[in-house]
């Protein structure tokens, strides 16, 4: 069993500065929280329909359209979404005397009109919607209970958890690769999404075999992979976790599907889609709050995407931006009801290996994150930006990454591939990555509790510098606001505008009579701000 601990208190950092960063993050996030409370989106409303049982597609082939999309589109055009989709939808259920799915199909086909119920009937329709919402929210909560029961039955994997990506484009080919990875020592399987799925304003349906550089995130694909990992976990005597991506234009729907099929981790960051996929920031922040409430109740650990900042910015000069984003992500996750042990902050080993004292700098950065977030299941990302065709140097860099991860108590280790700069990794590459990590953690993990840094030494000074720069940056962000900071390119050296990007037309300001019992129940269950 791999020895593991989260070593804290080894760096003498300014804890008053850490407290100030948290206070600034709360101040900065206030506008985002207000935005999320006062707006809804088409994807959020579709997610609510999915939670109460609306699914399927209408039409065939390239003409097929998801039923939840069609229902929301009809409600928006005939009633408006300012008051939400659920009341008009359940009014149609009551009027037609059909079940939920049959009503949805009839609305999608244009066979039923939708309308807001008259005042004398509103109470009954709301009661029906609330009853279905309660069942749906209970189902989300049941995922957390089932996970706990399964871990108790088959056994928990020892930390740190080794995390590998599997994605051929074909779910039926992904499954044997994922099971093989688990048998070789992988603890978390991530099924990366097909290129461009985050930009689709609908969720593909069914099991898919035609993804490009990834496999489409669909509920059926989630179900198939979850069953396969449960099977191999039973065989191995340890629970194998499944990860996907709750980001993009369908973030709330994917979060709902993940909760329904008992996924364990979801990539879910406060700015990733805005910066790297040019998705409108208002759409992203509204969708994110709802998604995180779902994750909170389902017991899902989120992984944030700060590691991506260092693919576009210098990993030394921009180290403080990663830490600043951590404080913001922590705050926005907390107000959505996520517990600290569910907030898996991401960072990366991305300093150019030609930089003198690279390893010391990486140690300072990784240990600082651990000191600032002692309860977080940190996700540490391997080198990618400076990987080349020299696979031998790549293998060594991955070893150094593993060593820093072992010495600083990172919980989740995404395994580096020596062929990162050459081709999509083969199974043999993944096997070598597991061997590399297993050797380092077997041989060095106990050092995490032994290492001490010289007071006032290079590592401590570097950590202090990054923390101070982080604090200075958050002060500036507080002056201009979160939206202004993104518009100024303060994160990842990338400029986005408040009204730019994809998906703004799917943001709807809530009316005074907005009614959504799912949002209300989720907020109450997880203690989210309302």
Active-site positions read: 272, 307, 379
Residue length of the chain: 530
Can you tell me the distance from the alpha carbon of 58 to that of 515, in angstroms, rounded to the nearest whole number? 27
Q: What are the residues facing 344 on neighbouring strands?
A: 303
Nearest to 251 by CA among 41, 499, 527: 41
Phi, psi for residue 296 in degrees, rounded to 5: -60, -50
Name the token pair of 239: 């629970």
Q: What are the residues facing 237 on neighbouring strands?
A: none
Residue by residue, DSSP assigns 124-163 as HHHHHHHHHHHHHHHHHHHHHHHHHHHHHHH-PPPSSEEE
Q: What are the residues facing 41 on neighbouring strands?
A: 507
Can you tell me the distance from the alpha carbon of 345 to that of 341, in angstroms, rounded to the nearest whole number? 10
Nearest to 41 by CA among 523, 508, 499, 503: 508
Longest alpha-carbon distance in the chain: 74
Residues contacting residue 393 through CB under 8 Å, at least 6 positions apart: 353
Residue by residue, DSSP assigns 47-78 as HHHHHTT---EESSGGG-EEHHHHHHHHHHHH
Burial of 211 per CB tally in 10 Å (0-12, 13-18, 19+): buried
Nearest to 22 by CA among 376, 515, 404: 376
Can you tell me the distance from the alpha carbon of 242 to that of 192, in angstroms, rounded to the nearest whole number? 11
Answer whether 40's CB lies under 8 Å from 286's CB. Answer: yes
């Amino acid at each position: 069993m791999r020895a593991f601990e989260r070593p804290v208190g080894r760096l003498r950092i300014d804890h008053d500065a850490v407290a100030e960063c948290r206070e600034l993050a709360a101040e900065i996030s206030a506008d985002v929280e207000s935005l999320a409370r006062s707006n809804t989106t088409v994807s959020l409303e579709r997610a609510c329909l999915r939670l109460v049982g609306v699914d399927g597609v209408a039409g065939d082939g390239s003409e097929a359209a998801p039923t939840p999309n069609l229902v929301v589109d009809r409600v928006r055009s005939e009633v408006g979404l300012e008051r939400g989709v659920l009341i008009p939808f359940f009014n149609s259920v009551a009027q037609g005397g059909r079940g939920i799915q049959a009503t949805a199909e009839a609305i999608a086909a244009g066979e039923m009109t939708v309308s807001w119920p008259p005042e004398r009937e509103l109470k009954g329709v709301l009661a029906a919607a609330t009853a279905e919402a309660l069942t749906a929210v209970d189902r989300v909560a049941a995922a957390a209970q089932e996970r706990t029961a399964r871990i108790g039955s088959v056994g928990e994997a020892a930390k740190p958890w080794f995390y590998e990506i599997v994605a051929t484009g074909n779910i039926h080919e992904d499954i044997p690769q994922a099971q093989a990875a688990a048998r070789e020592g992988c603890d978390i399987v991530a099924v990366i999404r097909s290129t461009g799925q985050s930009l689709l304003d609908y969720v593909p349906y069914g099991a898919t075999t035609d993804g490009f550089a990834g496999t489409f995130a669909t509920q059926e694909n989630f179900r198939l992979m979850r069953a396969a990992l449960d099977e191999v976990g039973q065989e191995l005597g340890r629970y194998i976790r499944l990860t996907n991506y709750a980001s993009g234009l369908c973030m709330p729907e994917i979060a709902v599907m993940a909760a329904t099929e008992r996924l364990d981790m979801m990539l879910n960051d406060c700015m990733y889609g805005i910066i790297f996929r040019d998705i409108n920031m208002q759409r992203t922040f509204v969708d994110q709050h709802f998604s995180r409430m779902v994750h909170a109740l389902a017991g899902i650990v989120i992984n944030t995407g700060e590691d991506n900042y260092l693919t576009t910015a210098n990993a030394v000069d921009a180290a403080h931006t990663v830490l600043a984003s951590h404080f913001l992500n922590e705050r926005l996750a907390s107000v959505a009801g996520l517990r600290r042990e569910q907030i898996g902050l991401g960072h990366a080993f991305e300093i150019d290996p030609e930089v003198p004292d690279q390893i010391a700098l990486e140690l300072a950065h990784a240990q600082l994150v651990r000191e600032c977030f002692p309860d977080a299941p940190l996700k540490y990302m391997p080198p990618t930006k400076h990987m080349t065709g020299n696979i031998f140097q790549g293998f060594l860099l991955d070893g150094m990454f593993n060593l820093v991860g072992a010495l600083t108590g990172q919980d989740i280790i995404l395994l580096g591939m020596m062929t990162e700069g050459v081709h999509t990794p083969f199974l043999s590459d993944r096997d070598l990555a597991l061997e590399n990590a297993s050797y380092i953690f077997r041989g060095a993990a106990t050092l995490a509790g032994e290492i001490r840094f010289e007071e006032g030494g290079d590592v401590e000074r570097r950590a202090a510098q990054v923390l101070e720069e982080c604090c200075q940056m958050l002060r500036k962000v507080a002056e201009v606001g979160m939206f202004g900071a993104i518009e100024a390119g303060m994160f990842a050296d990338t400029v986005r505008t408040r009204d730019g990007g994809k998906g703004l037309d799917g943001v709807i300001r809530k009316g005074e009579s907005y009614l959504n019992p799912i949002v209300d129940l989720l907020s109450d269950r997880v203690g989210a701000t309302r």
